[in-house]
Amino acid sequence: MALNSTTSIALFDLLCEGPIGGVIGGLEGVFLNETPVKTGNVYNFNSNHVKVDTLIGAKQSATSGTFQQVSTITQVGLEIGQNYSETLNADGEVDSQADRDYGPGTLTRQITDTEVSQVQLLFTVPKLFSVAQEGLAKGQLFGGRIDVTVKVQDVGSGGSFVEKYGKSIKGISTNNYQFLTDYITLSGSGPWNIKVEKVDLKEEHFEVKYTDFEDISDKTALASGRGNQLIWSSITEYTDKVVNHNYSAVAQLQLSSESFPQLPTRAYLIKGRLVKIPTGAAVKDDGSLNLNNADFDGGPQKDEHWTSCPVCTFVDLLTNPRYGAGKFIDEDKVSWTDLYPLIEYCNQTVSVKDGNGNVIATEPRFSCNVVIGDQADAYSVLQDMASVFRGMLFWSSNIIHVAADHGELDGSDAPIKHVYSNSNVLNGVFEYSGSSLRTRSTSVRVRYNDPENFYKPNLVVVEDPALISKYGYIVKELIGFGCTSKYQAQRVGLWALQTENLDEEVVVFSTGLDGAVVLPGEVFAVADQLRQGTRITGRVQSTPSVSQIVIDQRLNSLPSGANPKLTCVLPDGTVETLDIFTLNQDTISLIGGFSALPAINSVWAITTDDVALQKFRCLSVSDGGGGTFAITGVTHNDSIYASVDEGEALDFEDVTTFDDAPPPVTNISFEAGQVTDGTAQSMQATISWAPGA
């Protein structure tokens, strides 16, 4: 049997900033060439050929075993004894066994470094074989045998040599077969003498023995057909040294070349960085949080936990001083109370339904499982992390705010932060703009990491067949940051598709101090008389009681439609809506009462089932100077959340009393001419008309 050299390699893989939750399933979570080391109780590789140890990366984390040692290799490169040889007579024959030299011998080297604790010896066997001399197998290679012993003497204590290692090599080698001894522990104070002996086995060195010859003389010369050469190649000295890897989760592997002739690819399925979670929360098996509102005290738990909650991972990246922005943001300045509604929304369970409306799976609304392996500017990384929960960062009043586009936990409409009407905006004008339907996406492709395919990138495609048939394929490609669920990726794509269709309009207006009330991400209402076709808003004239409001105009009747309601802005800036009981010209009586008397000159608005306030989500608020603020908002539809999460149909509220098509315009005129701007010339057309009767 031919001898094949085997060796082992020690690998040290840095997994993550620590501490982490650990490798999932132990060896089942360690993958070599995309194959787990262990499946259940069964090893997929020889258990003696794979050794794995992991560190979770605690504050004080040190390597173990051989990874605690520093190695030094000393070359020896000397033959022990010699190769088999013979002394021949005048006839070219071997007279007796005494004339056959089997090449035994010893070689000693000294370890002078008294800090060395262990050694390994590397040997090379260039030749080990015997050639058949007779019969049908004549000329064929057969095996040989070399026995090696290693003895150690502690010179410092004056002791004798003690055998520490022995091995018998059997087989055929013609091309430098190598083998490495086990770790040999050096006891005592040192220095140490290492003696290696090549044992004299006589004719037992060779499988083809002259004593077995039948057709030829037992004096036949055999040196050219025999080999039993042994070379001591090197000594590896190991010195114990503790190597700390604080806050670094690492994996330590030792792999045998017998199972891995080439360096394998490695992958690890882990529970990642431990982060702070709110008090009263417990981590579920899927990484989401089970929240207990009664136990939430406004802050995080003392101990860190592994979780896939994107808000908690966002806070960790925001406040960690090693790899996050913690050198600039004090952890005590983060308001967990303000973040708690986002945490609730992210961890709320949503149902996944098939085409027939049957529930096929449930999962948290948002999960984040991501590896951040590249350095980037803090704002970009934090914004990417916030995008997992549809969040955004903005600066206001010397504070960094985090807002997210999310619905209410109970499915109710998003609360209105403020009401703007023609009476509290500059010049009473709202400016509307939109985008062409032809530029909006009809197909969205979302890339996510598929856990069913070794977390390799995969695509989910969400399409609008009606728009495709009308405008063709207008494709948008998105990356689901931290997304490892195809259903979450589907919601990301559906959200992009629906928001493009719903965000058909952007409103821009300027107002006074009312502009300081709304922040980006919050929902406000617009009561625009020009669009709604009737005046359903104004200013509060007086407040006889919390259930009776006097307005700034006399109304003969309420707007058409059932369930009339009155919305008012209270002194603390909150907005409340109550059912209307009766209307008596300028006095409105309510069913129930407001929690406080609306302030005089604050905004009121009336809505019914036939005419509602326009809702917009604030995109930006900018200081216009002179006590004015410019507000930009995009159309908001409360039904988008149920549409994306549960697959329900979108619901569109009627925001105008204009139910009939407008009459044709008259007096259309068209003027065209050439316009010169510097050296550039272009054609310009002006079209004007008069409204129809």
Q: What is the pLDDT of residues 327-347, one digit of tens each?
A: 888 888 888 998 999 999 999
Burial 182-220 (b: 16+ CB within 10 A, else e): eebebeeebbbebebbbbebeeebbbbebeebeeeeebe
231 shares a domain with 93: yes
pLDDT surpassing 80 at residue 574: yes
Q: Do 464 and 543 lie in a common domain?
A: no
Q: What is the CATH number of the domain that holds 454?
A: 3.30.1920
Q: Round to whole Å and give the CA distance between 692 and 290.
A: 61
Burial class (CB in 10 A: 0-12, 13-18, 19+), 619: middle
Segment 262-288 shows an average pLDDT of 94
* Assigned token pair, 68: 């605690």
Q: How far apart, in whole angstroms, are the C-alpha atoms of residue 239 and residue 231? A: 25
Q: Are residues 92 and 157 in the same domain?
A: yes
pLDDT grade for 556, boundaries at 50, 70 and 90: confident
Q: Could you check whether the bond before residue 415 is cis, i.e. omega within 30 degrees of 0?
A: no
Q: Does the pLDDT at position 281 exceed 90? A: yes
**What local confidence, expressed as pLDDT, does residue 499 receive?**
86
328 shares its domain with 268: no
Q: Decide the pairing of beta strands 523-527 and 614-625.
A: antiparallel
Asked if pLDDT for residue 55 goes beyond 90, the answer is no
Strand partners, 585: 555
The residue-averaged pLDDT of 112-120 equals: 91
User: 665-672 — which CB contacts under 8 Å span 24+ positions?
Assistant: 665/689, 665/690, 665/691, 665/692, 666/690, 666/691, 666/692, 666/693
Across residues 84-90, what is the average pLDDT?
Answer: 91
Residue 131 scores a pLDDT above 80: yes
Tell me: pLDDT of 682 over 90. no
Give a yes or no: residue 122 inside a domain. yes
Q: Is residue 111 in a domain?
A: yes
Average pLDDT, the chain: 89
CA distance 674 to 29: 72
Q: Indicate whether 690 belongs to any domain.
A: no
Average pLDDT over residues 445-461: 94
Q: Rounded to whole angstroms, how far apart are CA atoms 485 and 480?
A: 9
Give which of 90, 125, 107, 130 is closest to 193, Cα–Cα.
107
How far does Cα 404 stand from its chain's mean position?
A: 20
For residue 80, what pLDDT band results from cuts at 50, 70 and 90? very high
Assess if residue 693 is contained within a domain. Answer: no
Inter-residue contact 305 to 313 (CB < 8 Å) = no
Arithmetic mean of pLDDT, 305-311: 96
Do 588 and 544 belong together in one domain? Answer: yes
* pLDDT band at residue 62 under the 50/70/90 scheme: low
In a domain, 663, yes or no: no
pLDDT category at 63 given cuts 50, 70, 90 is low
Q: Which of 572, 561, 614 is nearest to 594 (CA)?
A: 572
Q: Are 71 and 236 in contact (CB under 8 A)?
A: yes
Residue 81 or residue 332, greater confidence: 81
Question: How much is the pLDDT for 471?
Answer: 83
Residue 648 is predicted with a pLDDT of 81
Does 468 lie in the same domain as 328?
A: no
How many domains are contained in the chain? 5
Residue 33 has pLDDT above 80, yes or no: yes
DSSP structural state of residue 66? G
Question: What is the rounded distance in angstroms from the CA atom of residue 525 to the CA atom of residue 605?
Answer: 10
Instruction: Give the pLDDT confidence score for residue 226 in this predicted structure.
Output: 92
Q: Which pLDDT belongs to residue 97? A: 85
Say yes or no: 226 and 326 in one domain. no
The pLDDT, as a whole number, for residue 490 is 94
Segment holding 102, helix H or strand E = none
Q: What is the mean pLDDT of residues 390-418?
A: 81
Examine residue 172 and state whether it is found in any structural domain, yes or no: yes
Average pLDDT (176-185) is 90
What confidence tier does 1 reach under pLDDT thresholds 50, 70, 90? low
Model pLDDT, residue 368:
95
pLDDT for residue 24: 93
pLDDT for the residue 352: 86
Q: What are phi and psi of 54, to 5 degrees?
A: -130, 150
Task: Specify the pLDDT at position 149.
Answer: 96
Please tell me the predicted confidence (pLDDT) of residue 268: 95
- Residue-wise pLDDT tens digits, 212-227: 888 888 898 999 999 9
| Distance of alpha carbon 320 from alpha carbon 72, whole angstroms | 39
Residue 433's Cβ-side half-sphere holds a number of Cα atoms within 13 Å equal to 5
Flag whether pLDDT at 64 surpasses 70.
no
Domain containing residue 248: 1-63+242-274
Residue 309: inside a domain = yes
Q: Where are the alpha helices (DSSP H) in 146-202?
A: none
Q: Residue 642 — pLDDT band, cuts 50, 70, 90?
A: confident
Is the pLDDT at 66 greater than 60? The verdict is no
Residues 366 and 339 in one domain: yes
Rounded distance, CA 464 to CA 497, Å?
A: 8
Q: Does position 68 have pLDDT exceeding 90, yes or no?
A: no
Tell me the pLDDT band of 459, cut-offs 50, 70 and 90.
very high
Mean pLDDT for 445-449 is 95
Residues 258 and 321 in one domain: no
What pLDDT sits at residue 479? 93
Alpha carbon distance 190, 115 (integer Å): 9
* Cα distance between residue 301 and residue 307, in whole Å: 13
pTM to 2 decimal places: 0.75
Indicate if 46 and 129 belong to the same structural domain.
no
Which helix or strand (DSSP H or E) is residue 139 part of?
none
Map 189-226 to HEC letters: CCCEEEEEEECCCHHHHECCCHHHCCCCCCCCCCHHHE
Query: Using one digit for the tens of pLDDT, what is the confidence trace for 484-496?
Result: 999 999 999 999 9
Give dist(CA 388, CA 646) in Å, integer.
Answer: 18
In angstroms, rounded to a whole number, what is the distance separating the alpha carbons of residues 147 and 184? 17
% of the chain surpassing 90 pLDDT: 50
Q: Does residue 35 have a pLDDT over 60?
A: yes
- DSSP state letter for 95: -
Tell me the pairing of strands 475-479 and 443-450. Answer: parallel
Write out pLDDT tens, residues 354-367. 877 788 889 999 99
DSSP secondary structure string for all residues of 274-336:
-B--BTTEEE-TTS-EEE-GGG--SSB-SS-B----HHHHHHHHHH-TTTSSTTTS-GGG--H
Residues 29 and 83 grouped into a single domain: no
In a domain, 410, yes or no: no
For the chain, percent of residues with pLDDT exceeding 70 = 97
Give the pLDDT score at 660. Answer: 78
**Are 316 and 230 part of one and the same domain?**
no
